[in-house]
Amino acid sequence: MPAIPTPQQSQNTVTLTSNGFSPVTLTISVGQTVTWVNESGQAATVNSDDHPVHTGYTQLNLGSFSDGGILTLKFDEPGTFGYHNHLNPSEIGTITVQ
């Protein structure tokens, strides 16, 4: 059973559906955590850009999560970080940390 997100996580939640990541862009503050929830109906990944090497922000190489799964990452530095689903690289997103 997936963990229930805290109120802060709920505000910083990215949901993966069959249509891709939503929201596609998210702006947060340094020290906040982003939660990805997989509601796509299939296994997926969260990996940093660029595909397929994933070297843009290696902390974002969170790996795979099954349908119904949750991944989280606390962002400790400012910047703009792109990511994608390695299993379907057209599914992309960006986290901006201020």
Indicate the class that CATH gives domain 7-97.
mainly beta
**DSSP reduced 3-state for 52:** coil
Q: How buried is 74 (Cβ within 10 angstroms: 0-12 exposed, 13-18 middle, 19+ buried)? A: exposed
pLDDT of amino acid 9? 47
Question: How does pLDDT run along the chain (98 residues), one tens digit per residue?
Answer: 445 544 444 589 999 999 999 999 999 999 999 999 999 999 999 999 999 999 999 999 999 999 999 999 999 999 999 999 999 999 999 999 99
- pLDDT (0 to 100) of residue 1: 47
| pTM of the shown model | 0.88
The H or E element containing residue 7 is: helix 7-11
CA 64 to chain centre: 11
Give pLDDT, residue 11: 81
